[in-house]
């Protein structure tokens, strides 16, 4: 009875909806909208590859052109997820090869990709244009050769920070001579040298190349050759930024940079020789994104260079910048939105640079648009955090890592509860928070009370009791990802907030106090969650049921327990009781 | 203690143990008695090695029956997260939150037969009994009572360079007092905690790699020349395969470590270590540490680990070099080791034939003596 628009009109209207959330909302209106939407959805994002199966996705969305998948939990970046855990893209590629012949884009993060997968991708999708592999592993440069050779219209090849087994640099030469479509190439993670002449020719014949991130093996002396052939570059990642001090190298370099009128982003800078930094002065005022996080240059060279970049919006840098450099940054770069300061010597307890909380406070004062921070330092105070919070209520991402676990406020020796409390109270739009230092349950009370928009929270060496976890799970309404390590959180808060877990993407707890019994219970009672216990040292039932599990990964899913688990991962589903005999009876295996 | 200066014994773990395991220690050492650890610090898994390079290998002793057996055994009342610790400071939990019906006392919670009392559902209250049950415990130490995996808390030495860093009244106070006595190098502590500080492996490797190549940080003169030399080496234009593999290994400080009998391997960042000692300690933590060492409340728990000690297996640390040969770790200077190692393997003694015949003989002698 209800008059609706003709389908193609609706489809046209839906084509303006790009965000998944909007499309998901639209699909809930009525059956016909659901069908029109699903038939017209071209891009899908799956934040946890085990939350759904390829078959289910393909059944619902039959004509997808771009797929984005994430595999391992975030803490895999820090070696907390054992090798072999999972995250294989294989079943996806195989299914999609048959179902989506017109697939154009595949973006993967923290997944295991093999050369065979890459070969299959290169041969199955005729219109394949974009391959992005961020923090992936399992493939070699041979797999890349398939992509180079077979993807006729390849526009983007981004290897992110993947772990590639580097057999040789010859893969790059597999790009056919008639390949002119490249827009973005990022090979910065590769160790082997690629044939420079092949690279040069490739760059020269791709007029639309906007992003070029070289690997370390590309020598600085040769960089001008590439820049001259690609003056339209918007983002450049240099190779090793070092060479003998020779005036002709310097002048070639300066001249080449002078020609890059579109350049906005710079990265690379391994082995940086500070004398060559001024070669880029001509582009500094254009630069909005600068990644010096591998550049071991120190002050004054470092701060001198950074201060030239008055339009900087994003800066990644090592702690060599020191407080004095950050103060200069605060004065010079009023458009700064994102700052990441990494430690040059993370294992040194004392530190050899003068980077303290003062630097961050200065930037928070001087840069009104600052909204995203990742900061490694060795001391922090509640006063500084309160100041930062008050200065920057527009903060969206705040990740602070005080290198020493459980370090208190260095001035008052108190916990940093008040400081982080100020952050969540003042920064009402905070989406992501990572905390460190000495923290009690009190900080979690603040978080639960105030951090209503928080989507991702990372906790380490914090809290006193289950109450802490309970505050977070019961208070943070928007929470999607929670990752915890080495905190005294146990069964109570977890079980008490079991239904909350279904509203989140995932929960990670390692080196906490969650018992095997609680995991079993959670798995049995919550069929729409996969409760996975990771115990590398043996089956979790080899001790009594109250024995804590090593690592726990809980995520919502409609695909049921996964079938590709390695021997050290146990899933707690309904059948778990029969699989695990009671501790008193001894374990079967 | 005779060998106290070889590496830092983790006295912190063991000061709660009622009795030293004197009857066990001889089983684990086939090195001369002078190298025995003190009884206090010798639980079933230890690393022991000679300070000098005379002993050609690094030996890891293990007392587990099967390598894959969960070393989780023996937690007993020490484990389980059910106790809401920190009774001193914890507020009473409000009873109108969605939650689980939790039994009143911690004792109840541990008892498996009470499982049926635990129910999930909306509108159930999280009783404050849990908190009340543990009010006796100090706020700072409650959770440390749990049997648990080794964490940063167990590395008192590394986290503060000097005792001046010790924060008053914090959990680490006790740890620091032990740590500061050691005077260990400040750089060993943080690097022994897996995944801390939270920096991606890729970044870590790159940083360490660069630190290696640019020895002198200050610019001009000799230093710069050295840097030039090194950077020249890095940008090697040669097509020599060897060079590229060296470059690759330099690029990645992480090497795989597999242990016989364990299905999964781990990775360890060699660049985070400056000696065999720290490497050995890290590997020990990775493969042999288990929560039963965290037992605080003595008696019955201390029985548990012994079950795993029958038929003790012994392991050797070996590595594969760039020529594909398997060698015993400890033979060559550390720097040379770094440049040739491709991966590590914790090998069962029985499989290590040919690698160390002398070791076997010595081994048997010790065992005979012990029994």
Chain B residues with CB under 8 Å of A239 CB are 235
The pLDDT of residue B41 is above 60? no
CA distance A435 to A422: 13
More confident residue, A135 or B154: A135
pLDDT at site B191: 56
CA gap A351, A319 in Å, rounded:
10
Of B81, B97, B194, nearest to A466 by CB-CB distance is B81
CB B28 within 8 A of CB B61: yes
Contact A405 B158 (CB under 8 A): no
Mutate to test the interface with B, among A543, A549, A577 (most CBs of B within 10 A): A543
With beta carbons under 8 A apart, name residues in chain B contacting A245: 224, 228
A513, B143: Cβ pair inside 8 Å? yes
Question: How is residue A240 annotated by DSSP?
Answer: B
- What's the whole-number mean pLDDT along residues B231-255? 41
pLDDT at A579: 65
pLDDT tens figures, A498-544: 999 999 999 999 999 999 999 999 999 999 999 999 998 888 888 78
Hey, is the C-beta of A470 within 8 angstroms of any chain B C-beta?
A: yes
A268, A274 Cβ separation under 8 angstroms: no
Q: How far is CA A189 from CA A280, A291, B62, in A?
A: 23, 15, 39
A470, A498, A515: residue with CB nearest B81: A515
Torsion of CA A246, A249, A253, A255, to 10 degrees: 100
Helix intervals (H) in A314-435: 322-332, 357-366, 382-391, 417-426
Half-sphere exposure of B176 (CA within 13 A, CB side): 19
pLDDT of residue B254: 75
Out of A342, A438, A543, the one facing B75 most closely (by C-beta) is: A543
Q: In chain A, positions 436-465, which contact chain B (CB-CB < 8 Å)?
A: 438, 440-442, 458, 460-461, 464-465
| Nearest CB to B100; choose among A243, A406, A496 | A496
For residue A124, pLDDT beyond 60: yes
> Is A540–B109 a contact, with Cβ atoms under 8 angstroms apart?
no
Of B89, B159, B250, the CB nearest to A405: B159
The pLDDT tens digits for B143-185 are 333 333 333 344 444 333 333 333 333 333 333 333 333 333 4
Chain B neighbors of A499, CB-CB under 8 A: 98, 120, 122
Nearest to B115 among A350, A376, A521 (CB): A521
Could you give phi then psi for residue B130, rounded to 5 degrees? Answer: -60, -40
**For residue range A270-283, what is the model confidence (pLDDT) as tens digits?**
999 999 999 999 99
Cβ B189–A349 below 8 Å, yes or no?
yes
Contact A138, A162 (CB under 8 A): no
Point out the residue among A293, A485, A538 whose CB comes nearest to the CB of B70.
A538
Given a cut of 70, is residue B304 above it in pLDDT? no
Most confident of A398-407, A574-583, B9-18: A398-407
Beta carbons within 10 angstroms of residue B13's beta carbon: 18
SS (H, E, C) A171-211: HHHHCCCCCCCCCEEECCCCCCCCCHHHHHHHHHCCCCCCE
Per-residue pLDDT, A168: 85
Which residues of chain A are within 8 Å of residue B214 when distances are taken between CB atoms?
Answer: 271, 296
Going by pLDDT thresholds of 50, 70 and 90, the confidence category of residue B204 is confident
Alpha-carbon distance A244 to nearest alpha carbon in chain B (angstroms): 6
Here the tokens at position B25 are 């220690």
From B321's Cα to the closest Cα of chain A, the distance in A is 17
ipTM > 0.85, yes or no: yes
pLDDT of residue B180: 37
Of A404, A521, A547, which has the smallest distance from its Cβ to B75's Cβ?
A: A547
- Tell me whether A77 touches chain B (CB under 8 Å): yes
Q: Can you list the pairs that B183-186 forms with residues at least 24 positions away whose Cβ atoms lie under 8 Å?
A: B184/B8, B184/B157, B184/B158, B186/A348, B186/A349, B186/A350, B186/B158, B186/B161
Of A315-329, A549-563, B117-131, least confident by mean pLDDT is: B117-131
Range name among A98-102, A572-576, B308-312 with the lowest pLDDT average: B308-312
**Mutate which: B63, B71, B80, B117, vs A, most A CBs within 10 A:** B80
pLDDT in tens, A190-220: 988 999 999 999 999 999 999 999 999 999 9
Decide if A441 and B86 are in contact by the 8 Å CB cutoff. yes
- pLDDT top residue among A13 and B78: A13
> What pLDDT does residue A389 have?
97
Which residue out of B88, B96, B100 would a mutagenesis test of the A interface target, given it has the greatest number of A Cβ atoms within 10 Å? B100
Q: Is the pLDDT of residue B226 over 60?
A: no
CA torsion sign, A13 to A19 to A24 to A28? negative
Interface mutation target, options B137, B196, B272, B286, chain A, most CBs of A under 10 Å: B196
CA B354 to each of CA A26, A150, B327, B333, B359: distance values in angstroms, whole numbers, following the listed order: 70, 49, 10, 21, 10
Contacts of B146 in chain A (CB under 8 A): 488, 490, 513, 548
Subunit contact A511:B204, Cβ cutoff 8 A? no
Reduce the DSSP state of residue A537 to 3 states and report it: coil
The yes-or-no verdict on residue A66 having pLDDT over 50 is yes
Q: Which residues in chain A have their CB less than 8 angstroms from residue B187's CB?
A: 347-349
CB distance A37 to A23 below 8 Å: yes
Residue of B nearest to A348 (CA): B187
pLDDT cut 90: percent of chain A above it: 88
Count of positions (residues) in chain A: 589
Find the CB nearest A404 among B98, B143, B159: B159
pTM of the model: 0.69
Q: Please answer whether residues A502 and A544 qualify as being in contact, where contact means their C-beta atoms are separated by less than 8 angstroms.
A: no
CA Rg value for chain B: 24
Question: Rounded to a whole number, what is the distance in Å from the CA of B8 to chain A's nearest CA?
Answer: 17
Chain A CB contacts of B131 below 8 Å: 465, 467
Of residues A309 and B312, more confidence is placed in A309
The number of C-alpha atoms within 13 Å of B143 and in the hemisphere containing its C-beta is: 34
pLDDT digits (tens, 9 = 90+) for A165-180: 988 889 999 999 999 9
Task: Identify any residues that bridge with A362 across adjacent strands, giving them in sequence order.
Answer: none
- Is residue A267 within 8 Å of A291, Cβ to Cβ? yes
| pLDDT tens per residue, range B306-339 | 222 333 446 788 888 877 788 888 878 888 888 8
Instruction: Establish if A72 touches chain B: CB-CB under 8 angstroms.
Output: no
Instruction: Say whether residue A524 is in contact with chain B using an 8 A CB cutoff.
Output: no
Whole-number pLDDT of residue B277: 82
Interface contact A119, partner B, CB < 8 A = no
Q: Average per-residue pLDDT in chain A?
A: 93
Nearest chain B CA: its distance from A542 CA (Å): 6
For CA atoms A464, A470, A473, A477, the dihedral sign is negative
Give the minimum alpha-carbon distance from B245 to chain A in angstroms, rounded to a whole number: 8
CA distance A513 to chain B (A): 4
Which distant-in-sequence residues (6+ apart) come within 8 Å of B256 by Cβ?
A83, B265, B266, B267, B343, B344
| pLDDT tens readout for residues A359-373 | 999 999 999 999 999
How far A146 CA sits from the closest chain B CA (Å)?
22
Q: Does residue A26 surpass a pLDDT of 60?
A: yes
Asked if A538 has any chain B CB less than 8 Å from its own CB, the reply is: yes
Distance, CA of B298 to chain centre: 22
């Amino acid at each position: 009875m209800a008059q609706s628009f003709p389908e193609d009109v609706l489809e046209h209207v839906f084509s303006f909806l790009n965000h998944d959330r909007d499309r998901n909302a639209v699909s809930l209106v009525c059956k016909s909208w659901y069908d029109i939407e699903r038939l017209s959805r071209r891009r899908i994002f799956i934040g946890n590859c085990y939350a759904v199966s390829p078959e289910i996705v393909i059944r619902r969305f039959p004509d997808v052109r771009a797929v984005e998948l994430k595999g391992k939990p975030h803490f895999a970046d820090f070696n907390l997820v054992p090798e072999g855990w999972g995250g294989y893209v294989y079943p996806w590629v195989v299914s999609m090869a048959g179902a989506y012949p017109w697939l154009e884009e595949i973006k993967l993060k923290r997944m295991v990709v093999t050369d065979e997968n890459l070969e299959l991708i290169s041969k199955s999708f005729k219109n394949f244009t974009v391959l992005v592999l961020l923090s992936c592993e399992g493939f070699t440069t041979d797999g890349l050769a398939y992509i180079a050779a077979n993807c006729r219209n390849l526009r983007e090849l981004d290897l992110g920070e993947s772990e590639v087994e580097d057999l040789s640099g010859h893969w790059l030469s597999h790009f056919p001579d008639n390949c002119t479509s490249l827009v973005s190439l990022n090979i910065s993670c590769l160790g082997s040298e690629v044939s420079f002449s092949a690279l040069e020719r490739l760059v020269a014949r791709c007029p639309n190349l906007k992003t070029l991130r070289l690997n370390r093996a590309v020598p600085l002396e040769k960089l001008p050759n590439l820049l001259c052939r690609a003056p339209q570059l918007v983002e450049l990642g240099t190779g090793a930024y070092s060479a003998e001090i020779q005036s002709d190298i310097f002048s070639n370099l300066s001249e080449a940079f002078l020609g890059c009128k579109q350049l906005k982003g710079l990265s690379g800078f391994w082995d940086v020789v500070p004398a060559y930094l001024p070669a880029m002065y001509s582009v500094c005022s254009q630069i909005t994104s600068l990644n010096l996080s591998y550049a071991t240059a120190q002050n004054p060279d470092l701060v001198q260079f950074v201060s030239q970049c008055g339009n900087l919006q994003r800066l990644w840098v090592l702690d060599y910048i020191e407080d004095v450099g950050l103060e200069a940054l605060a004065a010079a770069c009023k458009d700064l939105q994102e700052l990441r300061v990494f430690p040059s010597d993370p294992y040194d307890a004392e530190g050899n640079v003068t980077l303290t909380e003062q630097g961050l406070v200065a930037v928070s004062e001087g840069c009104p648009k600052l909204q995203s921070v990742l900061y490694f330092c060795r001391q922090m105070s509640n006063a500084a955090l309160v100041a930062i919070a008050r200065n920057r209520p527009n903060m969206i991402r705040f990740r602070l890592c005080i290198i020493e676990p459980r370090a208190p406020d260095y001035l008052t020796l108190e916990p940093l509860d008040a400081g982080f409390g100020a952050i969540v109270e003042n920064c009402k739009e905070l989406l992501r928070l990572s905390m460190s230092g000495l923290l009690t349950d009190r900080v979690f009370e603040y978080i639960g009370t105030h951090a209503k928009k928080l989507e991702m929270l990372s906790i380490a060496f914090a809290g006193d009791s289950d109450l802490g976890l309970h505050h977070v799970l019961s208070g943070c309404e928007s929470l999607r990802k929670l990752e915890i390590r080495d905190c005294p959180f146990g069964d109570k808060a977890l079980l008490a907030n079991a239904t909350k877990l279904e509203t989140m993407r995932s929960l990670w707890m390692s080196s906490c106090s969650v018992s095997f019994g609680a995991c079993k219970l959670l798995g049995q009672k919550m069929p729409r969650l996969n409760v996975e216990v990771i115990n590398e040292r043996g089956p979790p039932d080899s001790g009594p049921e109250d024995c804590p599990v090593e690592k726990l990964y809980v995520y919502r899913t409609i695909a049921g327990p996964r079938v590709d688990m390695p021997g050290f991962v146990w899933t707690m589903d309904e059948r778990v009781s029969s699989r695990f005999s009671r501790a008193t009876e001894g374990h079967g295996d | 203690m005779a060998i106290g200066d070889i590496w830092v014994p983790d006295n912190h773990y063991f000061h709660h143990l009622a009795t030293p395991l004197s009857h066990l220690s001889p089983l684990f050492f086939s090195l001369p008695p002078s190298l025995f650890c003190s009884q206090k610090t010798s639980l079933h898994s230890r690393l022991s090695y000679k300070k000098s390079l005379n002993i050609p290998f690094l030996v890891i002793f293990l007392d587990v029956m099967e390598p894959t057996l969960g070393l989780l055994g023996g937690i007993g009342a020490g484990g389980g997260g059910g106790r809401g610790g920190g009774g001193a400071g914890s507020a009473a939990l409000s009873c109108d939150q969605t939650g689980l019906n939790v039994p009143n006392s911690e004792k109840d919670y541990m008892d498996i037969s009470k499982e049926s009392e635990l129910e999930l559902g909306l509108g159930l209250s999280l009783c404050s009994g849990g908190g009340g049950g543990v009010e006796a415990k100090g706020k700072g130490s409650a959770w440390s009572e749990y049997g648990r995996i080794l964490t940063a808390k167990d590395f008192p030495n590394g986290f503060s360079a000097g005792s001046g860093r010790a924060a008053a009244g914090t959990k680490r106070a006790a740890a620091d007092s032990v740590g500061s006595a050691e005077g260990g190098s400040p750089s060993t502590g943080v690097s022994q905690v897996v995944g801390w500080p939270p920096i991606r492996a890729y970044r870590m490797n790159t940083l360490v790699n660069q630190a290696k190549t640019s020895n002198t940080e200050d610019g001009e003169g000799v230093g710069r020349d050295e840097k030039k030399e090194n950077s020249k080496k890095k940008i090697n234009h040669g097509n020599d395969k060897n060079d590229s593999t060296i470059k690759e290994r330099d690029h990645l400080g992480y090497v795989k470590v597999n242990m016989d009998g364990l299905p999964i391997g781990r990775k360890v960042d060699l660049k985070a270590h400056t000696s065999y000692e720290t490497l050995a300690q890290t590997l020990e933590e990775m493969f042999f540490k288990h929560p039963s060492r965290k037992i605080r409340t003595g008696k019955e728990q201390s029985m548990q680990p012994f079950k795993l000690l029958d038929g003790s297996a012994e392991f050797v640390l070996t590595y594969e070099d760039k020529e594909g040969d398997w060698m015993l770790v400890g033979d060559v200077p550390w720097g040379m080791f770094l440049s040739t190692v491709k991966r590590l393997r914790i090998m069962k003694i029985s499989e290590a034939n040919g690698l160390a015949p002398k070791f076997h003989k010595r081994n048997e002698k010790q065992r005979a003596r012990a029994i």
